[in-house]
């Protein structure tokens, strides 16, 4: 059975890959790249995010630290919901290039906040 540290490293690696791939897809979207139509580009983010979520759930159960009982975990979950909404606007649902670009920038800021909260275990990490 994997150790908590192994799951934590899997989670951190998945988060880094997810964030970097989001940035790449955002740049491709702004440039109108045909890469976004590649099948693997539509599939890989779902696989990475599934590993990310599964490792997060494993850590929650393993550590006994639950969202809405731990302030910093609650902040991460709520920020994650915001990140998902902003990412969806940036990559799919944005009506204008400016709207998509602003949502993309905001999503990156929210992602940075999530990472900072994870590293500091503080709701206000900055």
- pLDDT computed for residue 100 by the predictor: 97
| Residues 21-65: tens digit of each pLDDT | 999 999 999 999 999 999 999 999 999 999 999 999 999 999 888
More confident residue, 106 or 68: 106
In a domain, 126, yes or no: no
The answer, as to whether pTM is greater than 0.85, is yes
Cα-trace Rg, the chain: 15
Domain that holds residue 20: 4-120
What average pLDDT does the chain have? 95
82 within a domain of the structure (yes/no):
yes
Q: Is residue 125 part of a domain?
A: no
Domain count, the chain: 1
How far apart, in whole angstroms, are the C-alpha atoms of residue 87 and residue 84? 5
What tokens were used for 103? 């949502």
Bridge partner residues of 111 (DSSP): none
64 lies in a domain? yes
DSSP string, 21-37: HHHHHHHHHHHT-GGGG
């Amino acid at each position: 059975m994997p150790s908590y540290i192994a799951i934590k490293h899997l989670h951190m690696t998945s988060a880094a890959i997810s964030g970097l791939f989001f940035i790449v897809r955002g740049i491709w979207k702004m440039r109108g790249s045909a890469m976004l139509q590649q099948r693997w580009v539509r599939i890989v983010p779902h696989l990475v995010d599934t590993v990310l979520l599964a490792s997060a759930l494993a850590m929650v159960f393993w550590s006994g630290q639950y969202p809405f009982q731990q302030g910093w975990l609650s902040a991460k979950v709520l920020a994650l919901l915001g990140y998902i909404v902003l990412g969806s606007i940036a990559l799919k649902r944005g009506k204008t290039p400016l709207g998509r670009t602003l949502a993309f920038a905001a999503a990156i800021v929210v992602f940075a906040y999530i990472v900072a909260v994870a590293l500091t275990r503080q709701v206000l990490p900055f």
